[in-house]
Structure 1
């Protein structure tokens, strides 16, 4: 197996076979993100991708899951993705799911028919970053899309029959946009009704514009108490029946999990208990990405 640079994957892909289909991120300008700054985006030669899958087969007796890295595998030509998926199915008949990151831009260039065909070939779920449902936050963070754009692409994925996992980041609006960020992010989740909702908590990475803004005082971070208040407001406004909600990333101060909407009261009670006793939060020095 050959990997170029740092490789990132969602927490739920910890036990997946990971093969790079692209290098880096096709957008790579988000002000808060440092993940792919050391790489220039490129499509990996198809034969190299297929060779890695062939090489891995004798190394692993059983492969349940495959994750197509890096940041935006869906941007490849649909015909090439079909070849990759056919190869996975041929070499790993026991594989239950194949997933990848997808950006709103890469979803937009795929036709509905292409997405359905990729689903039929075995691409069962994509991970997409919403980050915020507030356009003012998205613009400042250089996301490159409006909330309406992102919601429309999430709905497009769901129409194809693929599962959709969407993430957002608490604290991304700072104190000034805290309420709008919480409420409008919940509204965006509700409009997409994804199978999975994941919440991270903002961490400032060196080498990013956000790091510079924090240093010069033009962006203020939320306190842990404010993060809890924002999270409570978001959860209060969530109305996405059946969505599995997870806030259990290493960046989070508080762990929350449940299935909407039934588990919302219990999650709100967990937040209220944490507000009464901040000592139960993850210490700052234990947070990570």
Structure 2
């Protein structure tokens, strides 16, 4: 396999075969992210992607799931992505799940007809970084997306039958906008109703614009208590069924399961942490870089 640069995949895809289709991220300006700072975005040659797929077949006798990397693979032309999906299904007929990174804008730019073709070709799921539903927070982190664009993209995915896992970040609004950030995020999530969600606590990545803003005092990090209250608000106010992947390593109270089935259990856990965890007395939640 010819992986180039740093390689990332969701923790949920730990057991999936990774096929590198794009290099980097076509947006790559988010202030909090350094995942693809070592690469300039480009699409790999189809013949190189095919060679990796064939090479992987020689190594792995059974591959139940495949995850396409790097960032927002959905930005590819539909015809190109269809070639890749068809090659995967031909080479790994046992594969039951194919997923990729996307953005809501990538979904918005594609027609429902094109997305249906991708679904029929084997694409099951898109992982999307929502980060926040608060318009001002989205602008501050230079996400390049509005809440309205997220709604349009999600509508296209639902119409095509492609599952979406939306990730977002506790503390992304900082200490100042913690309330606005979580209230608007939950409001937007209740409109989007993604099939799965992955909330995680903010980690300050080295050499990012956000790190500079923290050092200068322009961005003041939310306290651990604020982060816990953000998760409590989320659990109290979500009104749709989803898979809750709240077990990221940076979360204060890692939890995973079906929502709202486990709502009472999750809330009991959060309330317990708020009442008893010494971290609530600290000014900063120390997380690790990706």
With the length of structure 1 as denominator, give the TM-score of the two structures.
0.95
Kindly indicate whether the alpha-carbon contact (under 8 Å) linking 1:179 and 1:233 is maintained by their aligned counterparts in 2: no
Q: CA RMSD in A?
A: 1.6
Secondary structure of the residue aligned to 2:205 is: coil
Change (3 A) 1:233 1:132: same
Secondary structure of the residue aligned to 1:246 is: strand
**Matched residues in 2 for 1:42 and 1:286: separation?**
31
**Matched residues in 1 for 2:272 and 2:170: separation?**
19
Could you list the runs of 5+ residues in structure 1 that have no partner in the other structure?
none
Q: Equivalent residue for 2:28? A: 28
**Matched residues in 1 for 2:120 and 2:216: separation?**
50
Q: Equivalent residue for 2:46? A: 46
Could you list the runs of 5+ residues in structure 2 that have no partner in the other structure?
none
Change (3 A) 1:284 1:136: closer
1:214-265 CA-partner distances (Å, limit 9, x unpaired): 0011111112112111111122111112x01121111212112232223222
Q: Residue 108 of structure 1: CA displacement?
A: 2.2
Secondary structure of the residue aligned to 2:130 is: strand
Question: Is 1:273 equivalent to 2:280 in the alignment?
Answer: no
**Matched residues in 2 for 1:153 and 1:202: separation?**
24
Q: Which structure 2 residues correspond to residues 9-20 of structure 1 after superposition, within 5 A? A: 9-20=9-20
Kindly indicate whether the alpha-carbon contact (under 8 Å) linking 1:74 and 1:102 is maintained by their aligned counterparts in 2: yes
Question: Is 1:146 equivalent to 2:146 in the alignment?
Answer: yes
Q: Equivalent residue for 1:263? A: 262
Kindly indicate whether the alpha-carbon contact (under 8 Å) linking 1:24 and 1:36 is maintained by their aligned counterparts in 2: yes
Q: Residue 169 of structure 1: CA displacement?
A: 0.2
Kindly indicate whether the alpha-carbon contact (under 8 Å) linking 1:250 and 1:288 is maintained by their aligned counterparts in 2: no
Q: Equivalent residue for 1:166? A: 166
Kindly indicate whether the alpha-carbon contact (under 8 Å) linking 1:86 and 1:121 is maintained by their aligned counterparts in 2: yes
Q: Equivalent residue for 1:121? A: 121
Change (3 A) 1:41 1:140: same
With the length of structure 2 as denominator, give the TM-score of the two structures.
0.95
**Matched residues in 1 for 2:186 and 2:96: separation?**
31
**Matched residues in 1 for 2:127 and 2:171: separation?**
21
**Matched residues in 2 for 1:183 and 1:260: separation?**
18
Q: Residue 2 of structure 1: CA displacement?
A: 0.3
- Larger displacement relative to structure 2 (101-110 or 115-124): 101-110
Q: Equivalent residue for 2:250? A: 251
1:86-108 CA-partner distances (Å, limit 9, x unpaired): 11111101000100000123212
**Matched residues in 2 for 1:222 and 1:255: separation?**
18
Question: Is 1:99 equivalent to 2:99 in the alignment?
Answer: yes
